[in-house]
Chains A and B, each alone.
Chain A
Amino acid sequence: MAASIVLPLIAWLIISNLPGVNSTFLPSPQNVIEAFQRLGAKGVITQDTIASCIRVSAGFALSVAIAIPLGITMGAFTSIRALFEPIISLLRYMPAPAFIPLFIIYLGLNEEPKIALILVGTVFFNTLMIMDSVKFVPKDLIEVTYTLGGNRLQVLKSVITPYIIPSIIDTLRVNIATSWNLVVVAELVAAEDGLGKRILLAQRFLRTDEIFAYLIILGVIGFALDLAFRGVLKLSCRWAFD
């Protein structure tokens, strides 16, 4: 695993230091480290990271707050599913970034359109994936609950929901990557700060070293989020693993 990261790093180090390679075109690792130090000293890295994180958290939290109850009830009740599934299946094929102009017209240029973009870009996938996971709740588990005196609401709350919690966590792990994509897209279009915005600024000044630095930050944050979700899954759902 280490090799898959270290080998490309070494290749980058060698190629970027070859004579005749323009550092504006391909900055060397040393250049990028300097860029990190420069930007870090100015405090913009923390500022941008926090700005982007807040947008992702807000948008994704809203998305999850809608998707969990909607997905579970769609999975459990055919009537609710029949009501929402067609429209959601259609909406999810509309690329979220195409909504940006609309959101800017409706919501202005502040945080709202960015949060809305993340919400719209993830809520449908979250909902449909959670809905699908309800299918895998064993029928016997539901029936035995009825024979123990449970009613439909209790089945939903005390059987279906706990059973799919591991799938929900995994769904969120997969889809939060999308919200990282979308926050950068939103910031490239219109923002005062944020990781995407900084990349755009760096491009104007041909600071490829800074672009590289920010790409690395984006990658590391995404990777850390993935690990965090996996950790939460392992810790909170010990029953689901051998």
Chain B
Amino acid sequence: MHLEISNLYKQFLTKQGPLLALENINLHVETGELVCAVGASGSGKSTLLRLVAGLDQPTEGSITVDGVPIMGPGSDRGMVFQKYTLYPWMTVQKNVESGLKLQGMEAIQRRQRASYYLEMVGLAGFARALPKELSGGMKQRVAIARALACQPKILLMDEPFGALDVQTKEAMQLFLLDLWQRTHCTILMITHDVEEAVFLSQRIYVMTARPGTIQTEVHVELPMPRHYEIKRTQDFLSYKNAIIDRLRT
């Protein structure tokens, strides 16, 4: 897997005139990486991810996956949104199966694959529950399982833990790191939480607003596996502070 974004521009036409949401974005993600983009509100993070997902078209520039330009949305790029997007009328099991069903997979295979991923996110016991019976963190885990069940080349996540309380958020960060190490999946995640980005990422793109640009790229050389305690180490804090300083400028 090789995601390559080059010279990407996105302009929106608004009532107040044209608005440059993204200016000359260049980034790449390689197989098995966990990369975060951090930035303040309005720095174009969601816009960037939507372009990669194929939900919107760039004004200029190119996005390729394994050298092939993306043409609209597809299940090779799984997406997890900040808002809860489980189908409320389907059980957890059916939700995880839904992508496979859309692609026409046989019921038996579908069931097996979904169970495997439900197991992986630790929610096998909730297969028959409805989304409304789950907590926020559990909903996001199901959403991740649903995306992973399609076995995408890359998992795109737009502030997936943004709506969760602090404790749940921390637990979900650990969960994601663990899942990433077990599945060797490739992840491009967006967050405005610098600590979250440093904790999770191997690399971080720091974005600033008006217009949205990539300020700098940071390689996070903290050892894996990481645990809560790392957040209090000097190394961690210096990464965090360096990025916060970058965001201020």
- How many angstroms from the CA of A103 to the CA of B159 in the assembled complex? 60
Asked whether B89 lies within 8 Å of A148 as measured between CB atoms, the reply is: no
Contact among A140, A147, A158 with B75 in the assembled complex (CB-CB below 8 Å): A147
**A228 is an interface residue with CB less than 8 A from chain B:** no
Q: Which of B96-104, B194-202, B213-221 lies at the interface with chain A?
A: B96-104
Asked whether B88 lies within 8 Å of A148 as measured between CB atoms, the reply is: no
**A86 is an interface residue with CB less than 8 A from chain B:** no
- How many angstroms from the CA of A37 to the CA of B85 in the assembled complex? 58
Nearest residue, chain B, Cβ from A144: B85
- How many angstroms from the CA of A150 to the CA of B85 in the assembled complex? 15
Mark B103-118 against chain A: 1 for CB-CB distance below 8 A, else 0: 1000000000000000
Asked whether A163 lies within 8 Å of B73 as measured between CB atoms, the reply is: no
What interface size band does chain B fall in?
20 to 34
Q: Name A's interface SS.
A: helix
Residues of A within 8 A of B102 (CB): 145, 148-150, 154, 158
Contact among B73, B88, B103 with A147 in the assembled complex (CB-CB below 8 Å): B73
Residues of A within 8 A of B87 (CB): 141, 159, 162
Asked whether B83 lies within 8 Å of A239 as measured between CB atoms, the reply is: no
**A231 is an interface residue with CB less than 8 A from chain B:** no
Asked whether B53 lies within 8 Å of A147 as measured between CB atoms, the reply is: yes
Q: A140-B83, A147-B74, A149-B150 are in contact. Are A240 and B88 (CB under 8 A)?
A: yes
Mark B58-85 against chain A: 1 for CB-CB distance below 8 A, else 0: 0000000000000011110111010101
- How many angstroms from the CA of A154 to the CA of B103 in the assembled complex? 10
Give A contacts to B, CB under 8 Å.
138, 140-141, 143-150, 154, 158-159, 162-163, 165, 237-240, 242
Give B contacts to A, CB under 8 Å.
53-55, 72-75, 77-79, 81, 83, 85, 87-89, 98-99, 101-103, 130-132, 143, 146-147, 150, 156
Enumerate the 6 nearest inter-chain pairs by beta-carbon distance, A residue then B residue, closest first: A149-B75, A148-B99, A146-B73, A147-B79, A144-B85, A150-B102
- Add 17 more A-B contacts to A140-B83, A238-B130, A240-B88 (CB < 8 A): A138-B83, A141-B85, A143-B73, A143-B79, A143-B81, A144-B81, A146-B73, A147-B156, A148-B75, A148-B98, A149-B75, A149-B102, A149-B103, A149-B150, A159-B87, A239-B131, A242-B132
